[in-house]
Amino acid sequence: MNKRTIISRRKQVKQISYEHKKSMAGFFFVLPWTCGVCIFFLLPMIQSLMYAFSKMDISSGSGYTLSFIGYTYFMKAFTTDAVFPMKLFISLSNMLYQVPIIVIFSLFIALIINQKFLGRVFVRATFFLPVIIANGVILSIINGDALSKTVMATASASQLFKNEVLNSLLLESGVSMQVINSVVGVVDSMFSLIWKSGIQILIFLAGLQTIQPSMYEVAKIEGATGWESFWKVTFPILSPMIILNLIFSMIDSFTDYMNPVMAYVNENLVGMKLEYGSALAWIYFVLVMIIILLVYMVVNKRVHYDVK
Amino acid sequence: MDTMTIKTLSKVKDIEHKRIRTKKILSNTSTVVWKIFRAVFLFGLCFILLYPLTYMLSVSFRDMKDVYDPAVIWIPKNFTLANIKDVTQVMNYFQALRTSLQVNIVSSLLQLAICAITGYGFARFSFKGKKLLFSVMIFTIVVPPQVIITPIYLGFKSINLLNSPSTFYLMAALGCGIKSGLFIYLFKQFFSGLPRELEDAAAIDGCGFVSCFIRIMVPNAVPVFITGAVLSIVWYWNDYYMGSMLMNNHETVTMALVKLPSSLRLVSGYDIVDPYKIITRMQAGSLLTIAPILVFYIVIQRFFVQGIERSGIVG
């Protein structure tokens, strides 16, 4: 009896030990990043939240004291501040109409580029170019300061789509002002939309490459037309990528260099209005977080994940 | 009766042939129309995308005479390198280039290494709190740097590490470089997609966890590394915000570019400067800023798209 229990106990100890070893190894693999996240992310988040709730007094240069003020800044952001709610509204509504357009457009382009044709490599390289030059600085140079817009035989690139004729044409045909504004707005921003869809096109392209051609053959045998085979074969397989692109585009559009809210937050962070800037940043972040979560929960139900 | 059936059969055959022929003609024309449309469409789009680049190239090499000349649209009549020389001096280009390259390469290497290790940990092991840590990682992608930059700045100031590239190195080495969360996610997706039999085979042959990672997982993950390297290098190159906050004295090329308008005015002594001059210099500066990364991209471009396809981010 003794020998058996000793052996079985040893076996038990060995089993636990391996599992335990493995999970400890996993823990060590993740350890450097965990330390980094604690130091560079969690701690600053908490501190920034504390700033947002308190008033800072800088005394004698090296230290500062925080006195808890509460919701003052948050109230101020929505009630007293003249600019912030409007900027928030503008930036959120921009994001709302830009993101679907970017995703649909990049899907379309990826489908086109996926076919074999002459110059395909060149076209793929060109479409990824915006990601390489997606320097916020260069973009603002491209969009031009007032000088380059009025000067030179060649207008700046963002003016490529500006269209006075479209405006007056729509007006004459009796369309209401609201519709005109939105339509012309979309057409005007087409340049920056094309510019922002670099990574999305790449993700869709990679996703399209993973679809086995046998699926299309099956669809053809079953008598599907091109349109049907797109909606029944391509679209479901691409649905995880669609949601990835949606979320990525949303994140991209709200950390954009030229986002009005971001610029405003930056101004406030640099000056003595540190606390106010932190509060603003937090409000913005929480709002976008809520939107992203909503979109994720709504879209995720219809996403068809590949079961391997 | 036989001739009747033969006649009807041949008539039916003729009609069938005609139908097939018209179908072929229709489908051929529609293919040709589609090809033409696609060619025009893609040409238009590529033009839009390449426009800023060609504009930069054109303006940077223009002499001042050509700037005023409305007949010069793309190709300058007087090709000159004066703009570039000016900008190189004002921007302190070669020093900035050296700083950029140094910060870039070291940070990217550190970041990729740590993200690969972390991604492997998330993919292959289960430990307490894994889900929580994973959601924290998603958070790091979503939160913009502005929210957390000030505490980080103050933290670095208290250790006296501010204004040196070590800030970037430290952050990258601890897995908090630029958009690190995205890389961790990429690696995790990839490693999850590799078959478990690889690990089992390695374990049978006597590999521990670390050597299994180094010898088996890493060589398999080369496409992801390439993708990650390209993205990481590009993002570190284009970074202005973190650089200006954390290492203000060491200028990267992008930081120098942002300062360019004011530096130009400083050099010209706050006189009333011809705006056209500023434009040409700015374009030349932009060209210099993106030239290295563009060369890098052209060289590595072939591997990059293949890398995305094989890395299975989308799998």
* Residue of chain A whose Cα is closest to the Cα of B171: A36
The helix/strand/coil state of B142 is helix
Candidate from B41, B146, B314 with C-beta closest to A210: B314
Best A50, A95, A133 member to test B by mutation, with max B CBs in 10 Å, is A133
Nearest residue to B244 via CA among A143, A25, A136, A307: A136
**pLDDT over 70 percentage in chain B:** 92
Q: What are phi and psi of B72, to 5 degrees?
A: -90, 110
Report DSSP letters for B63-116, one per residue. -HHHHH-TT-SSS-SSB--HHHHHHHHHHTHHHHHHHHHHHHHHHHHHHHHHHH
Q: Could you give the angle at the alpha carbon of A85 between the alpha carbons of A81 and A89, nearest 5°? A: 165
Average pLDDT of span A202-221: 84
Nearest residue in chain A measured CA to CA from B46: A126
Question: Which residue of chain A is at minimal alpha-carbon distance from B234?
Answer: A132
B254-268 mean pLDDT: 79
Would you call A160 an interface residue with chain B, using a CB distance cutoff of 8 Å?
Answer: yes
Q: A20: nearest CA in chain B?
A: B127
Q: What backbone torsions phi and psi does residue B252 show, to the nearest 5 degrees?
A: -85, 175
Among residues of chain A, what percentage have pLDDT more than 90? 1
Q: What share of chain A is helix, strand, coil (3-state, %, to 5)?
A: 75, 5, 20
Are A278 and A69 spatial neighbours (Cβ–Cβ below 8 Å)? no
B37, B111, B127: best mutation site toward chain A, by most A Cβ within 10 Å? B127
Quick check: B45 and A281 CB within 8 A? no
A49 touches chain B (CB under 8 A): no
Average pLDDT score, chain A: 75
Q: Is the dihedral of CA A48, A52, A53, A58 positive or negative?
A: positive
Give the model confidence (pLDDT) of A218-272 as tens digits.
Answer: 888 888 887 888 888 888 888 888 888 888 888 888 777 566 777 677 766 666 6
Number of neighbouring beta carbons within 10 Å of residue A153: 11
Q: Compare all CA atoms of chain A with the CA of B307 and give the residue at the minimum distance.
A: A206
Residue B202's contacts (CB-CB under 8 Å, 6 or more residues apart) are B211, B212, B215, B216
- pLDDT beyond 70 at B6: yes
Whether B220 and B203 have beta carbons less than 8 Å apart is answered as no
Chain B residues touching A203 at Cβ < 8 A: 308, 313-314
Q: Which residues of A touch B122 (CB under 8 A)?
A: 30
Task: Look at residue A6 in the predicted model and tell me its pLDDT.
Answer: 65
β-sheet bridge partners, residue B79: B62
What pLDDT, on the 0 to 100 scale, is given for residue A148?
Answer: 47
Chain A partners of B70 at a C-beta cutoff of 8 Å? 153
Give the pLDDT confidence of A153-197 residue by residue, as tens digits: 344 445 555 566 666 777 777 767 777 777 777 766 777 788 788
Nearest residue of chain A to residue B274 (CA atoms): A147
CB nearest to A194's CB, from B49, B124, B315? B49
Say yes or no to pLDDT of A146 above 60: no
**Three-state SS at B313:** coil
Is A191 at the interface with chain B, CB within 8 A? Answer: yes
**In this model, does residue A3 exceed pLDDT 80?**
no
State the Cα–Cα distance between residues B137 and B179, nearest whole angstrom: 10
Among A30-39, B154-163, B265-274, where is mean pLDDT lowest?
Answer: B265-274
Residues of chain B with Cβ-Cβ distance to A276 below 8 Å are: none
- For residues B82 and B231, the model is more confident at B231
Question: Would you state the pLDDT for residue A307?
Answer: 46
Q: pLDDT-based confidence at A305, cuts 50/70/90? A: low
- Of A134, A30, A118, nearest to B180 by C-alpha is A30
Considering only alpha carbons, which residue of chain A is nearest residue B64? A152
Q: What does the pLDDT read at residue B315?
A: 42
Mean pLDDT of B77-86: 80
Q: Does A197 touch chain B (CB under 8 A)?
A: no
Whether residue B312 is predicted with pLDDT greater than 80 in this model: the reply is no
> Least CA distance to B143: which residue of chain A?
A285
Residue A281 sits at the chain B interface (C-beta within 8 Å): yes
- Which residue has better confidence, A249 or B79? A249
Separation in Å, CA of A2 to nearest CA in chain B: 32
Determine contact: A264 vs chain B, CB below 8 A: no
Give every CB contact of residue A54 below 8 A, 6+ residues apart in sequence.
Answer: A66, A67, A68, A69, A275
Task: Give the pLDDT score at A165.
Answer: 67
Looking at beta carbons, which residues of chain B come within 8 Å of A153? 70-73
* Residue where the block lists tokens 């840590």: B133
Determine the Cα–Cα distance for residues A197 and B48; give it in Å rounded to an integer: 13
- The size of the A-B interface in CB pairs under 8 A is 252
Quick one: pLDDT at residue B112? Answer: 93
Contacts of B283 in chain A (CB under 8 A): 141
For residue A19, which amino acid is it?
E
Average pLDDT over chain B reads 82
- The answer, yes or no, to whether residue A133 has pLDDT greater than 80, is no
Residue with more model confidence, A279 or A74: A279
Q: What average pLDDT does range B299-304 have in this prediction?
A: 75
A258 close to B (CB below 8 A): no
Q: Give the pLDDT mean for B92-111.
A: 90
Q: Do B314 and A241 touch (CB under 8 A)?
A: yes
Q: List alpha helices for chain A, DSSP H.
A: 2-37, 43-53, 72-78, 84-114, 120-132, 136-143, 146-150, 164-172, 177-188, 190-196, 198-209, 213-221, 226-229, 235-254, 260-270, 274-300
pLDDT at A149: 46
Residue B113's pLDDT is 92
**Tens digits of residue pLDDT in A48-66:** 887 777 666 665 444 555 6
Selecting from B73, B127, B151 the residue whose C-beta is nearest the C-beta of A153 gives B73
Q: Are B123 and B182 in contact (CB under 8 A)?
A: no
What percentage of chain A carries pLDDT values higher than 70?
65
CA distances from A157 to A89, A131, A132, A143, B117 (A): 27, 17, 17, 7, 43
Q: Which residue has the tokens 């260099």?
A: A257
With b meaning 16 or more CB within 10 Å and e meaning fewer, what string describes A252-270? bbbbbbebbbbebbbebbe
User: Exposure of B298 by Cβ count < 10 A (0-12 exposed, 13-18 middle, 19+ buried)?
Assistant: exposed
Nearest residue, CB atoms, A126 vs list B49, B118, B149? B49
Phi, psi of A56 (to 5 degrees): -100, 130
d(CA B156, CA B158): 5
pLDDT at B162 over 60: yes
Contact assessment for residue A128 and residue B49, using Cβ atoms and an 8 Å cutoff? no
Residue B117 is nearest to which of A29, A133, A257, comparing CB atoms?
Answer: A29
- Chain B positions touching A25 (Cβ under 8 A) are 125, 209
> CB distance from A111 to chain B under 8 Å?
no
Q: Which residues pair with A57 in a beta bridge?
A: A65
- Which residues make Cβ contacts (< 8 Å) with residue B196, sequence separation at least 6? none
Provide the whole-model pTM.
0.80
